[in-house]
Amino acid sequence: MTKFTPFWWDGQPQFENTDEPPLSADIVIVGAGYTGLSAALTLSKSGKNVIVLDSEMIGFGASTRNGGMLGSGHKVSTDQAKKKYGEMIAEEIHKEANASLAFTSNLIIENKLDCEFQVCGRLRASWLPQDQVNMSDNLKKLKAIEHFNSNMISPDMMSNSIKTDLYFGGQFYQDHGSVHPRKFHYGLLKLALKAGVKVFGNRPVIKVTQLSKLKQSGFDVVTSNSTIQCKQVLMATNGYTRPNLSKYLSRRVLPVPSFVITTVDIGKDKVKSLLPGGHCIVETRKRYCYYRPTPCGKRIMLGTRAAMHSISAEEALPTLRKMLIEIFPSLADVEISHCWTGFTGFSFSQLPNLSNNKGIYSALGYCGNGVAMAPYLGHMAALKMLNPDQKVTIFEQTPLQTRPYYFGKPWFLPIASAYFRGFDILDYYRRKKSIKKV
């Protein structure tokens, strides 16, 4: 029987603070995911009195629903970034992607967080022969910016990493890793609590009101049963940004659903036979399948796009199962133990952003790459709040854009689902043509 809750939640502790939040603080952070907790940790260590509020139970959102792949990189290529922002900013975007991986890896190692962290490497698999060429060209440009521990894998060497005939080679990222996302989140939570941060779940923020237009005036953070007065506010809500809380941010972050499954226990030998390299795997096709062994080594976890709009995990299950069997036909009779969904936060620029609008800070827009980037940008947001006049990250220069047709409710995502289904058909057609030419 398939459970429609995250595999990562099974047997894990649930934090709950039954106290009433204080009526004042230096800083209130809205959102208790990786971003909010990392920012709170840095701020509290700097002597600030910090309260973190979340509308759901602590650990409800994407920070514990993701695939646990710890890596660097963006949805935007180096050439795309150069065209839009110029060469200097494009280079810094790449450097900070690598910096985010180093920051989060060090955060785990230095604090000895029990989250089953492994430096297992990530393989980006080429769906088309041209994808292999494009990745190779882009890799040369990335290595020209700074040292980048990555190399191309030829088609005849792919069997060392994965037993499937689907791909035309790939790019291997040697420093990338994996975590148990719920355990990582809980470890980060315990660090924040130990530092003196006060964290409250099931405390939805109704509104944030500036006390006056003076620069140092402060804010009232209004919840359902209390009002907290503070000097600064950080919005760390990403894909769970609600229009009734922030019209400004909700117009600039798209809540795009993610869908994930895990198999039942198929044994370490079976998993090893299919994924002998033990790597995290992502694809170049628009369907964007990603998969990995679970930390126990006895199951395979797979995520993919079942829809661009919100559908239930029950509705998504047949699509995810179909994709799993396409990659690994030998798993056709294997049962699915868990299937779940959650929201990632996509910016229109497809890059993260740290900004301040009318005195309210925000750090969000990870576009599905948040396991390493969210703790990093939360830390950078804290540094910015401590030194508002100092530039702390290049992601202050990747503007949070909106569109005239978007007012916080993504009515157009069902249309996008139909568009991407058409693109999937095109992807298969292009693949067939490529195979005929080989």
* Nearest CA-CA partner of 231 in 221, 241, 218: 218
CA distance 371 to 238: 13
Tell me what pLDDT residue 215 has: 58
In a domain, 2, yes or no: no
**Which tens digits make up the pLDDT trace of 262-295?**
999 999 999 999 999 999 999 999 888 999 999 9
Tell me what pLDDT residue 74 has: 84
Backbone angles phi, psi at 318, to 5 degrees: -60, -40
Tell me what pLDDT residue 224 has: 87
Q: Which residues pair with 286 in a beta bridge?
A: none
Report H helices in 175-304.
181-194, 247-250, 268-274
CATH number where 197 lies: 3.50.50.60
CA distance 183 to 200: 18
Q: Which residues pair with 210 in a beta bridge?
A: 219
User: Where do we find the tokens 């809980």?
Assistant: 186
In a domain, 251, yes or no: yes
DSSP codes of every residue in 289-340: -EEEE-TTSS-EEEEE-S-SS---HHHHHHHHHHHHHHH-GGGTTPPEEEEE
DSSP state of 118: B
- Please, which residues have CB within 8 angstroms of residue 393's CB and are 6 or more apart in sequence? 96, 354, 377, 380, 384
Tally of structural domains, the chain: 1
Backbone angles phi, psi at 232, to 5 degrees: -140, 155
Q: Which residues pair with 344 in a beta bridge?
A: 256
* Nearest CA-CA partner of 221 in 380, 53, 77: 53
Q: At residue 135, what is the residue type?
A: M
In a domain, 50, yes or no: yes
Report H helices in 329-412.
370-386
Cβ neighbours, 10 Å, residue 220: 15
Q: At residue 132, what is the residue type?
A: Q
* Nearest CA-CA partner of 317 in 348, 343, 341: 341
Tell me what pLDDT residue 352 has: 96
Tell me what pLDDT residue 430 has: 82
pLDDT in tens, the chain (438 residues): 999 999 999 999 999 999 999 999 999 999 999 999 999 999 999 999 999 999 999 999 999 999 999 999 888 888 888 898 999 999 999 999 999 999 999 999 999 999 999 999 999 999 999 999 999 999 999 899 988 899 999 999 999 999 998 999 999 999 999 999 999 999 999 999 999 999 999 999 999 999 876 656 899 999 988 999 999 999 999 999 999 999 999 999 999 999 999 999 999 999 999 999 999 999 999 888 999 999 999 999 999 999 999 999 999 999 999 999 999 999 999 999 999 999 999 999 999 999 999 999 999 999 999 999 999 999 999 999 999 999 999 999 998 999 999 999 899 888 888 888 887 888 888 888 777 665
Domain that holds residue 327: 7-437
Q: Which residues pair with 339 in a beta bridge?
A: 261
DSSP state of 33: S
In a domain, 1, yes or no: no
In a domain, 186, yes or no: yes
